[in-house]
Chain A
Amino acid sequence: QITLKESGPTLLKPTQTLTLTCTLSGFSLRTSGVGVGWIRQPPGKALEWLALIYWSGDNRSTPSLKTKIIITKDTSRNRVVLTMTYVDPVDTATYFCAHIRRYYDPFRGEYLPLVDHWGQGTLVTVSS
């Protein structure tokens, strides 16, 4: 059974660095094709994809936050870490990590990421 669990601080001050950990269960980052992503949701608002990383280390970030976030993996501990620098009150949100299933697009010759299993989420508040 695939499960993911987010952990990290619940309250930060502006300009601080946010580090969130996603602990994986039921699947391994050593397995070819495996991916994990981060998505956030400000209170009462829509979902926003942040970043993803694959078993190979290949990673992607949403263009608007590319200079602000880093995604890394710790294969030995089966964890994925999201780091976000210089947080602001607009970064207040529930942060979800999620398992990604890849699908092959034969027309473009590339794999595409489908988010299928989600963690429960963790609320992070940024306030002075």
Chain B
Amino acid sequence: DIQMTQSPSTLSASVGDRVTITCRASQTISNWLAWYQQKPGKAPKLLIYEASTLESGVPLRFSGSGYGTEFTLTISSLQPDDFATYYCQQYSTYITFGQGTNLEIK
């Protein structure tokens, strides 16, 4: 199984901050990586796929990068609506999710 490890588990930040979340795969997954945003009591929402492609309708302040085993999600200027939990997910072999990063207000 491919394991996905996210860091940090919790991230405290303020509106306007630039934040980065890291995701590491236990083996190479090329660029078959997606990022999701989940708010309490809601289903996840797809933000980015193929490591760096923005899903339609997702604000441009979200960006993704990486290849192989190391990936990042960056939010260039945090907005109040962005405080949520973020998950990375590989879909190279089956599907596995990271453990999540809780982005909270500082």
Contact = CB atoms under 8 A, between A and B. Distances in A.
Interface in B63-106: 87, 89, 91-92, 94-100
B71 to A, nearest CB: 15
B16 interface: no
A116 B99 contact: no
B97 A46 contact: yes
A37 B95 contact: yes
A116 B98 contact: no
**Chain A residues touching B, majority SS:** strand
Nearest to B32: A112
Nearest to B4: A46
Given A63-B94, A105-B32, A115 B46 contact: yes
Contacts of A113: 91, 95
Given A105-B30, A113-B95, A121 B43 contact: yes
B75 to A, nearest CB: 20
B97 A47 contact: yes
B43 A115 contact: no
A63 B99 CA distance: 18
Given A105-B30, A112-B92, A114-B34, A46 B55 contact: no
A118 B95 CA distance: 15
Nearest to A118: B43
A65 to B, nearest CB: 11
A94 to B, nearest CB: 9
Given A63-B1, A115-B95, A116-B55, A47 B87 contact: yes
B98 A46 contact: yes
Interface string A48-70: 11001000000010111000000
26 contacts: A37-B95, A39-B95, A46-B87, A46-B98, A46-B100, A47-B44, A47-B100, A48-B97, A49-B94, A49-B96, A52-B95, A62-B95, A63-B94, A64-B1, A103-B91, A105-B32, A112-B32, A113-B91, A114-B46, A114-B91, A115-B34, A115-B89, A116-B46, A116-B49, A119-B43, A120-B42
Given A112-B91, A114-B46, 10 more contacts: A47-B89, A47-B100, A103-B91, A105-B92, A113-B95, A115-B95, A116-B49, A118-B43, A119-B43, A121-B43
